Structure 1
Amino acid sequence: MTTLVIGANGQIGRQFCELAEAAGVPIRAMVRREEQHAWFEERGIATVVADLEGDFRHAFAGCDQVLFTAGSGPHTGPDKTLLIDLYAATRAVDLASELGLARFVMVSALRAEDPQAAPEKLRPYMAAKFAADAYLRGAGVPYLILKPGRLTDAPATCRVATSREEAGGENTVSRANVAHALLHLVQARALVDREFHLLDGERAIPEALA
């Protein structure tokens, strides 16, 4: 019952891993470089070194669920966006399918289905997320797709909304709230083949993501 966390060293990934460790949820944090291991080791979090641009099959050993929260980051070009947010994501889905994993939890983006509506520099990212989501839906792996709005560094409130209307027209969500939402979803094993938008709001996470 171990969840492989792909993208564990990212801003959301680190927060999620700390929450999971504190909650006693078995995880394995996938990191790209050996020197990233120390941060997780200090917190008692199991890690595996694997590169999304290389062979990362070994990272799946002993895991029955995947959380994909990796991203190419805001300072890379379209080439890295394609390699990480699309190609690596679809390869991870293929491995989950081949190995018979119980579920694949994908962190996508709000309105990924309409990349032309995004700012120009974000359009490759949105298009990659849209394509990766579509690939996951058709792969035959039980899945969840979480679509956060524009990310902020505000503290966690653990109160969210699942539509802009419910959020009073706002389109933001804190990374901390995303991490808490992911902790809930990773443990809610009965939830499969569902998609959720996620914004800061007023509802408790278990109520909103039911």
Structure 2
Amino acid sequence: MTRIAIVGGHGKVARHLVRDLRAAGHEPVALVRRETYRDELEALGAEVRLLDIEAQDADGFAAAFEGCSAVVFAAGAGPDGKVERKRTVDLEGSLKSIEGARRAGISRFVQVSASGMDEPVPADASEVWRAYVEAKRDADVALRASDLDWTIIRPGVLTDEPATGLVALAPTLPKADVPRADVAAVLAAVLDAPRSIRQQWDLMGGDTPIAEAVATA
């Protein structure tokens, strides 16, 4: 059994991931900023540790990762809300996770991004959307430039539909819907797939079983 740290451990994808990692024989470690999430996450099978993404520095992240063999960065302020939190959560949270992993001696790092983040932002885009794209893009750039064994998964439009177990996975794909449950299943699968190291893949709903998609992307 290996411990997998999940930054943003109370998010919708993260909660699915906790179940999937537990089913695969791993010990998920959900990193959250609120103690009130503990009972819910422990009931799903996670170890819970407190981590305030915005307030703590890289050393705090490294301490939260103690004893883990991989990190999944699944945190995000979302495409709505305040401009400032796109920087402090989506970008700086990722940067501190990357550095925290290095300081903790962890090489395996999987990041949840979003499709289309390398495309030009339309001139009429809102300030919040522009900040979101720039934060996700720069976080991916930083991870690709690191010496970690990284994988970047870029889902399309997230839904709360039931898992299908069928996806499309490739370096670039037309944007489409994908259930959060299937995103989590792909994250769990790539953690155990050495061929996914240093790969960046778009993830959409599709017709290929997840294990096959990860093996052939």
TM over 0.5: yes
Q: Aligned residues, how many?
A: 208
Cα pair distance change 1:132/1:170, threshold 3 Å:
closer
* TM-score, length of structure 2 as denominator length: 0.88
Structure 2 partner of 1:159: 166
User: Does 2:3 align with 1:2?
Assistant: yes
User: Does 2:117 align with 1:112?
Assistant: yes
Structure 1 partner of 2:196: 191
Cα pair distance change 1:38/1:208, threshold 3 Å:
same
Contact 1:6 1:67 in 2 (8 A): yes
Q: Displacement of 1:163 after TM fit?
A: 5.3
Contact 1:115 1:127 in 2 (8 A): no
Unaligned runs of 5+ in 2: none
Greater shift, 152-161 or 109-118, is seen at 109-118
Q: Distance in 1 between matches of 2:172 and 2:28?
A: 35
Counterpart amino acid of 2:184? A
User: Does 2:74 align with 1:69?
Assistant: yes
Contact 1:5 1:29 in 2 (8 A): yes
Identity %: 33
SS at match of 1:62: coil
Counterpart amino acid of 1:153? D
Q: Displacement of 1:187 after TM fit?
A: 2.2
Cα pair distance change 1:46/1:179, threshold 3 Å:
same
Cα pair distance change 1:175/1:43, threshold 3 Å:
closer
Instruction: Report Cα offsets for 1:29-67 as digits up to 9, x if no partner.
Output: 111111111101223321101110122332111012100
Counterpart amino acid of 1:95? G
Matches within 5 A, 1:102-141: 102-117=107-122, 120=126, 121-141=128-148
Counterpart amino acid of 1:106? Q
Contact 1:115 1:124 in 2 (8 A): no
Q: Displacement of 1:73 after TM fit?
A: 2.7
SS at match of 2:164: coil
Q: Displacement of 1:99 after TM fit?
A: 2.5
Counterpart amino acid of 2:161? A
Cα pair distance change 1:175/1:115, threshold 3 Å:
farther
Structure 2 partner of 1:38: 39
SS at match of 1:61: coil
Match for residue 88 of structure 1 among 64, 77, 93: 93
Instruction: Report Cα offsets for 1:89-145 as digits up to 9, x if no partner.
Output: 111111112322121100011011115159534221111111000001111111000
SS at match of 2:167: strand
Contact 1:115 1:126 in 2 (8 A): no
Structure 1 ranges of 4+ moved more than 6 A: none
